[in-house]
Amino acid sequence: MAAKLGVFILWLIHFLPLGAIAAIGNGVGSLLYRVAAERRNVGAINLRLCFPEMSVAARDQLLRDHFKMFARGLFERGILWWSRPERILGMIRVEGVEHFDAVRGRPAIFLNPHFVGLDIVGQWIALHTDTVCMYSNQKNPYLTELLLKKRTRFRTQLLYSRQQGLRPIIKGMRANMPFIYLPDQDQGVKDGAFVPFFGVPAATMTSVSRIAEMTGASVVPCITRLLPGGQGYVLTFYPAWENYPSGDPIADARRMNEFLEQRILEMPEQYFWLHKRFKNRPEGAEKYY
């Protein structure tokens, strides 16, 4: 019941102007910072590990700003779920669209890290081409069903759970459907390795280079920046990585982390710090959470 009520509130709010929705998100984010003690602690640990040179006060302010951005991303998602394509596209300024066009009609991986505007990437691409994606099941089946429905409402978007593995993803890519991939969270090291992330060993997936090698896909990073107030979003497509894959999955994973570090430093408040990024640790290493 609580989930359905929350979705109903999101539906009501999506009718408001973007500036008003952003203001609501900022207010709710400030409240969440105060009441979500467990996630606040996770975020504080992540920031301490990644930015040890930053003062405690500066890290605390960064975490407060992140909670606002996190809530904005949640409330503004209602626009993506229920608004017409004209409204969605009218809010997004695209930079580097030539890098998107360069891989149309052939295998591609759109690398979409966990910034708060990540759903903007998926919906913009879905409005322009059929895609294949991977998703994680939510604890609430109603939310899983809702997410699947809303992410496939414009064009063909094949969605497969992580439990289904990569086989259906590869099949879709070989039919020239681009793969929107979010590989930057801790999924263990069964399909990865411990690779530095801001100098801290982090369980990092090596599947990006493996998939690129199997399919001949180009890897095109894409990231969305939420602008202040009601100014909308900037979606940036970056040039396809050259000499990738390199034949060394660990080196390729390090390249991904280095790219991600650079983008995070440009807007650190918009990266998803509330995930236990360093949950899995090398044998004998200190546990952080």
CA 227 to chain centre: 17
Give the pLDDT confidence of 14-56 residue by residue, as tens digits.
999 999 999 999 999 999 999 999 999 999 999 999 999 999 9
The arithmetic mean of pLDDT across residues 265-284, rounded, is 96
Please tell me what DSSP assigns to residue 223: E
Beta-bridged to residue 134, according to DSSP, are 160
The arithmetic mean of pLDDT across residues 254-267, rounded, is 98
- pLDDT band at residue 165 under the 50/70/90 scheme: confident
pLDDT above 70 (res 274): yes
pLDDT above 80 (res 80): yes
The arithmetic mean of pLDDT across residues 259-263, rounded, is 98
| Burial grade of 286 (CB within 10 A; 0-12, 13-18, 19 or more) | exposed
Alpha carbons within 13 A on the beta-carbon side of 27: 6
Lowest mean pLDDT among 137-141, 175-179, 215-219, 278-282: 137-141
Q: Return the pLDDT at 151.
A: 78
Percent of the chain with pLDDT over 70: 98
pLDDT above 90 (res 124): yes
Give the 3-state secondary structure of 2-34.
HHHHHHHHHHHHCCCCHHHHHHHHHHHHHHHHH
Give the pLDDT confidence of 106-117 residue by residue, as tens digits.
899 999 999 999
| Burial grade of 138 (CB within 10 A; 0-12, 13-18, 19 or more) | middle
Q: Return the pLDDT at 246.
A: 95
The arithmetic mean of pLDDT across residues 155-169, rounded, is 74
CA distance 253 to 207: 9
Q: Return the pLDDT at 137.
A: 74
Give the pLDDT confidence of 52-69 residue by residue, as tens digits.
999 999 999 999 999 999
CA distance 101 to 96: 9
Q: Return the pLDDT at 158.
A: 67
pLDDT above 90 (res 202): yes
Residue 175, CA distances (Å) to 107, 124, 135, 183 in order? 8, 20, 20, 22
pLDDT above 80 (res 163): no
Lowest mean pLDDT among 9-18, 179-188, 231-240: 179-188
Percent of the chain with pLDDT over 90: 75
pLDDT above 80 (res 155): no
Could you tell me which residue, 134 or 13, shows the higher pLDDT?
13
CA distance 189 to 191: 5
pLDDT above 80 (res 152): no
Q: Return the pLDDT at 191.
A: 79
Tokens standing for residue 216: 């001949």
Q: Return the pLDDT at 44.
A: 98
Q: Return the pLDDT at 135.
A: 72
Q: Return the pLDDT at 65.
A: 98
Tokens 């669209």 correspond to 97
The structural domains of the chain, with segments of one domain joined by +, span 2-270
- 3-state DSSP assignment of residue 131: strand
Average pLDDT of the chain?
Answer: 92
